[in-house]
């Protein structure tokens, strides 16, 4: 049940509309269609009211956006989503020109990463890799320089190991402890610092 209208039951066009993909059997193009469903107001067995959406049973034909072939009896749809079809054509063109990650198959300019934005490819040893896959590859290839006094973390944006923590000795008690690199100025441990300020 839809509740996008300030948490109240809603049957606006956005709630009623879904998108589907229909593959052309001739050119294998992914046609994107808009399906505007019918809304029925109802109350469930727990007493919660809302709208139930159903797709009409009408069966329609569809003309492929790319090759013009008429695909018979694809089911119900409201209209062809032309913007989505254009994006699919551009994505297919990018694939034909090899703008795809050799590892995860993400397409440059069309697929996205959380925290990275759109996929961008870089050449590494003759292979095109996206940011994520290039970072994972370099992390395996470049040895971790961490030792008993330094801890490094691999930065996938900078594509290098970054010093994150260092082990320093307290100037008073001599006990060693780990601190973040930006806190290396803290020459005393917490216990000695508290004793000093008493």
Which pLDDT tens digit goes with each residue over 39-70?
888 888 888 888 889 999 999 999 999 999 99
pLDDT at 5 over 80: no
Residues in the chain: 198
Higher confidence at residue 3 or residue 65? 65
Domain match, 7 and 71 both:
yes
Mean pLDDT of the residues in the chain: 87
Sequence-distant (≥ 6) Cβ neighbours of residue 107 within 8 angstroms:
91, 94, 95, 99, 100, 101, 119
Same domain (yes/no): 105, 74: no
Q: What pLDDT does residue 46 have?
A: 84
Which sign does the torsion angle of CA 82, 83, 84, 88 carry? positive
Please tell me the predicted confidence (pLDDT) of residue 19: 94
Residue 145 CB partners (closer than 8 Å, separation 6+): 152, 161
- pTM given for the model: 0.57
Provide the domain count of the chain: 3
* % of the chain exceeding 90 in pLDDT: 42
Are 161 and 134 contained in the same domain? Answer: no
Tokens of 2: 């839809």
116 and 156, same domain (yes or no): no
**Residue 113 in this model has a pLDDT that exceeds 80:** no
* Domain's final residue, options 33, 65, 97: 97
Q: Per-residue pLDDT for 123 more than 50?
A: yes
Considering the domain architecture, whether residues 20 and 81 belong to the same structural domain is answered as yes
User: pLDDT band for position 115 (50/70/90)?
Assistant: low
Per-residue pLDDT at 82 exceeds 90: yes
Q: Are residues 121 and 93 in the same domain?
A: no
Same domain, 84 and 130: no
Regarding whether 115 and 88 lie in a shared domain, the answer is: no
Which domain range does residue 45 map to?
A: 1-97
Q: Are residues 80 and 116 in the same domain?
A: no
| Residues 18 and 44 reside in one and the same domain | yes
The whole-number average pLDDT for the span 131-154 is 91
pLDDT for the residue 104: 86
Q: Among all chains, which residue has been given the structure tokens 């973040």?
A: 180
CA 109 to CA 167: how far, in whole Å? 43
Tokens found for residue 6: 């300030």
Whether 131 and 48 share a structural domain:
no
Residues 15 and 51 in one domain: yes
The position carrying tokens 């989503």 is 81
């Amino acid at each position: 049940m839809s509740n996008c209208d300030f948490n109240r039951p809603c049957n606006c066009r956005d709630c009623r509309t879904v998108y589907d993909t229909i593959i052309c059997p001739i050119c294998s193009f992914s046609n994107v269609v808009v399906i505007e469903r019918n809304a029925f107001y109802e109350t469930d067995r727990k007493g919660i009211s809302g709208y139930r959406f159903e797709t009409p049973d009408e069966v329609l034909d569809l003309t492929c956006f790319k090759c013009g072939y008429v695909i018979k009896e694809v089911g119900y749809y409201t209209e062809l989503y032309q913007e989505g079809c254009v994006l699919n054509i551009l994505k297919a063109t990018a694939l034909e020109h090899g703008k795809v990650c050799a590892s995860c198959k993400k397409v440059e300019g069309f697929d996205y990463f959380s925290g990275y934005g759109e996929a961008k490819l870089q050449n590494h040893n003759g292979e095109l890799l996206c940011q994520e896959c290039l970072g994972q590859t370099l992390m395996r290839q470049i040895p971790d320089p961490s030792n008993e006094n330094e801890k490094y973390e691999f930065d996938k944006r900078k594509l290098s190991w970054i010093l994150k923590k260092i082990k320093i000795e307290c100037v008073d008690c001599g006990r060693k402890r780990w601190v973040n690199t930006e806190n290396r100025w803290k020459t005393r441990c917490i216990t000695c610092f508290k004793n000093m300020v008493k």
